């Protein structure tokens, strides 16, 4: 925080914003749980891949799938196009599998889970009990009891320690479990969908993940079902020198709806740790998925020591007509972020939305954005990205909007704004725009002054001066992103609401 207090802030950036950025940058989850762990030997090779597969009691086909991915990975090179720099990662100098000793025998119910683990999640504010988890969130007491339940899948290092509300979800026909359980219990679904959105050899980190992912969450919402509660996964890295590789697979069958939340934290350590996840979402006809993330991995200290390297591949495939996906992300953690939640808009009239607030402070580097690939007719996408840099941080928006020849009458609107707090940080925008038919409209804007003229006119007509009007409209816009966050993230959102993009640089 000290670094921010001394920063000369340019005129027009309000103090509330500066304070809010400092506040979210103070890491509160840096403690660690003292628990006996069991590790696989350091490094990665076919034996480790087999070992992970064995630990998860996987069938032969899954082991083969992983080994093929590993073979592929060995021929690949680390990507270097992102605007991030970090020391070369020694992939052989870390653990790929770590689980608490107490998880050796899978607990049959939450009551059997090691109290230490339960205490860990309790401390993180995610009690693994079947109750409303909104304790501590202002205004939660007013929330209706119905529909405010949240089922949690808690992943601790390499394993899932438990999933709440499984029974109630089952009654609705929803499958919500760890991916390792899904591989055992629902192989037909996993076989059909795993790797179908993010192919095994999609990119360096996704391929590595395909080989060594240890756990993650699996969701299947059957046709016509509106998931009775929000689902969430909470990822915690605890073990030292250990990479976390989780895999999430969400399938929303025809006409279904699910809202999924993801949270993550890690202890404060001097040595950087690797996190390479893959999230695949399949959305069939008329289905809708909302995926919200508050990414709060340990960002490293003020000198940039330690922190999580967050290399994540997230992609949603709107396969059916009128399928809809919405990504909302608040990125405050990680030393290095490399993350582009994307939408493939294959079905006609399918829709993709991406709302992002990325806050980078101290030595953090974030290179994040989205891809909107329009393949079907009348598809729509919207990108709203807010990047805030402070300290010596670098924040990059990188995105692709692609209108294929057959995606007639499609629409995209992109707005990305950046705010710099202090003169030692950087804000960058790297959008790719590819338009291959003329009935589609693509608009990209990256400026706060370009607010809607009608709205401005309306405000001015009511006696506001231009500056006030612009501020009001822009702030309203930023709050729009936050409002897209589900209630469960209200705590984080409350902090972020104080952020305004006045004085933004474009």
Partner 1 sequence: MALPEVKQTATDARLAALTLPTGGCLEDARRAALSRVQTLGLPGRRDEYWKYTRPDTLTQVEAPKAAIFDTDEAPMFDEFDRLKVVFVDGVFAPEESDDLSLEGVTIERISDICDKDIHWAKDLYGVLEARGQSPVARPLAALNTAFAQDGLAIHVTGKPSKPINMIYRHSDEGSDAILHHVIRVDAGAEATILENGPAASRFNKCMEIDIADTGKLHLVRAQGRDHERRAATHLFARLGTESEFKSFTLTVNGVLTRNEAVIELTGDDAIAHIAGACAGDGDFHHDDTVFVTHDAVNCESRQVFKKVLRNGATGVFQGKILVKEGAQKTDGYQISQSLLLDDDSQFLAKPELEIYADDVACSHGSTSGAIDEDALFYLRSRGVPEGDATDLLTLAFLAEAVEEIEDEEIAAAIVTRLEGWLARRR
Residues contacting residue 90 through CB under 8 Å, at least 6 positions apart: none
Min dist CB 448 to partner 1, Å, is 8
Asked if 180 touches partner 1 (CB under 8 A), the answer is: no
Let me know: does 238 contact 207? Beta carbons within 8 Å. no
Single residue of 425, 481, 482, 490 touching partner 1 by CB under 8 A: 425
Nearer to partner 1, 208 or 421 (CB): 421
Stretch that binds partner 1, among 21-29, 94-102, 421-429, 473-481 (CB under 8 A): 421-429
Min dist CB 398 to partner 1, Å, is 10
Nearer to partner 1, 79 or 147 (CB): 79
Single residue of 68, 435, 456, 491 touching partner 1 by CB under 8 A: 435
Asked if 444 touches partner 1 (CB under 8 A), the answer is: yes
Question: CA 235: distance to chain centroid?
Answer: 11
Total number of residues that touch partner 1 (CB under 8 A): 41
Min dist CB 368 to partner 1, Å, is 15
Asked if 470 touches partner 1 (CB under 8 A), the answer is: no
Asked if 184 touches partner 1 (CB under 8 A), the answer is: no
Single residue of 3, 110, 430, 497 touching partner 1 by CB under 8 A: 430
Min dist CB 22 to partner 1, Å, is 16
Single residue of 16, 104, 434, 467 touching partner 1 by CB under 8 A: 434
Asked if 420 touches partner 1 (CB under 8 A), the answer is: yes
Asked if 14 touches partner 1 (CB under 8 A), the answer is: no
Asked if 382 touches partner 1 (CB under 8 A), the answer is: no
Helix (H, G, I), strand (E, B) or coil at 110: helix
Stretch that binds partner 1, among 140-148, 172-180, 364-372, 439-447 (CB under 8 A): 439-447
Let me know: does 167 contact 195? Beta carbons within 8 Å. no
Supply 284's token pair. 């069939």
Nearer to partner 1, 60 or 453 (CB): 453
Residues contacting residue 224 through CB under 8 Å, at least 6 positions apart: 254, 255, 256
Residues contacting residue 84 through CB under 8 Å, at least 6 positions apart: 336, 337, 338, 365, 366, 367, 394, 396
Supply 480's token pair. 């729009």
Asked if 424 touches partner 1 (CB under 8 A), the answer is: yes
Q: Euclidean distance between the first and final Cα of the chain, in Å? A: 25
Q: Residue for token digits 């350091």? A: 42
Nearer to partner 1, 15 or 438 (CB): 438
What does the alpha-carbon distance between residue 227 and residue 208 come to, in Å, rounded to a whole number?
32
How many CA atoms lie within 13 Å of 183's alpha carbon, on the beta-carbon side?
24
Asked if 421 touches partner 1 (CB under 8 A), the answer is: yes
Min dist CB 430 to partner 1, Å, is 5
Asked if 101 touches partner 1 (CB under 8 A), the answer is: no
What does the alpha-carbon distance between residue 205 and residue 135 come to, in Å, rounded to a whole number?
36
Supply 169's token pair. 């979800």
What separation in angstroms does the CA of 37 have from each of 25, 98, 307, 486?
30, 6, 21, 34
What does the alpha-carbon distance between residue 66 and residue 46 come to, in Å, rounded to a whole number?
9
What secondary structure does DSSP assign to 384-405, as a single string?
Answer: EEEEEEETT-EEEEEEEEEE-T
Asked if 209 touches partner 1 (CB under 8 A), the answer is: no
- Percentages helix, strand, coil for the chain (3-state, rounded to 5) are 25, 30, 45
Asked if 445 touches partner 1 (CB under 8 A), the answer is: yes
Asked if 479 touches partner 1 (CB under 8 A), the answer is: no
Single residue of 449, 452, 458, 465 touching partner 1 by CB under 8 A: 449
Residues in the site for partner 1, rule: CB under 8 A?
A: 9-11, 13, 81, 403, 405, 408, 418, 420-447, 449-450, 505-506
């Amino acid at each position: 925080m000290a670094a921010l207090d001394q920063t000369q802030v340019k005129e027009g950036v309000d103090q509330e914003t500066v304070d809010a950025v400092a506040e979210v940058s103070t890491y509160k989850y840096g403690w660690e749980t003292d628990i006996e762990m069991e590790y696989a030997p350091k490094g990665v090779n076919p034996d480790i891949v087999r070992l992970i597969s064995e630990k998860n009691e996987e069938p032969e086909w899954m082991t083969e799938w992983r080994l093929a991915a590993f073979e592929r990975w060995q021929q690949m090179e680390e990507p270097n196009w992102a605007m991030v720099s970090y020391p070369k990662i020694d992939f052989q100098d870390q653990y790929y599998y770590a689980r608490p000793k107490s998880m050796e025998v899978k607990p049959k119910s939450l009551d059997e889970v090691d109290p230490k683990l339960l205490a860990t999640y309790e401390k993180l504010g995610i009690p693994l009990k079947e109750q409303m988890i909104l304790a501590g969130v202002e205004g939660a007491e007013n929330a209706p009891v119905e529909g405010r339940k949240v089922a949690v899948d808690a992943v601790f290092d390499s394993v899932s320690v438990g999933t709440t509300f499984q029974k109630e979800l089952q009654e609705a026909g929803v499958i919500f479990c760890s991916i390792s359980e899904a591989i055992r219990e629902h192989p037909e679904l996993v076989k059909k969908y795993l790797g179908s959105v993010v192919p095994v050899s999609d990119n360096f980190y996704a391929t590595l993940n395909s080989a060594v992912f240890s756990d993650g969450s699996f969701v299947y919402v059957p046709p016509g079902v509106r998931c009775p509660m929000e689902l969430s996964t909470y990822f915690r890295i605890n073990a030292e020198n250990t990479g976390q590789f989780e895999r999430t697979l969400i399938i929303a069958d025809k006409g279904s709806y699910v809202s999924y939340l993801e949270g993550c934290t890690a202890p404060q350590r001097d040595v950087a740790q690797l996190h390479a996840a893959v999230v695949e979402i399949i959305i069939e006809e008329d289905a809708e998925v909302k995926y919200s993330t508050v990414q709060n991995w340990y960002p490293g200290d003020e000198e940039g020591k330690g922190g999580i390297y967050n290399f994540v591949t997230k992609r949603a495939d709107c396969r059916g007509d009128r399928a809809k996906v919405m990504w909302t992300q608040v990125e405050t953690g990680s030393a290095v972020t490399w993350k582009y939640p994307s939408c493939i808009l294959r079905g006609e009239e399918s829709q993709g939305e991406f709302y992002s607030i990325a806050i980078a402070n101290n030595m953090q580097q974030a290179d994040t954005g989205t891809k909107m690939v329009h393949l079907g007719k009348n598809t729509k996408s919207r990108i709203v990205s807010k990047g805030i840099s402070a300290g010596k941080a670098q924040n990059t928006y990188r995105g692709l909007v692609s209108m294929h020849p057959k995606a007639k009458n499609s629409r995209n609107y992109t707005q990305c704004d950046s705010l710099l707090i202090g003169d030692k940080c950087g804000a960058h925008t790297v959008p790719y725009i590819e338009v291959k038919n003329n009935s589609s409209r693509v608009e990209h804007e990256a400026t706060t002054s370009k607010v809607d003229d009608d709205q401005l006119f309306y405000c001015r007509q009511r006696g506001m001066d231009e500056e006030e009007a612009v501020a009001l409209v822009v702030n309203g816009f930023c709050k729009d992103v936050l409002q897209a966050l589900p209630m469960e993230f209200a705590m984080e959102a409350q902090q972020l609401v104080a952020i305004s993009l006045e004085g933004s640089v474009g």
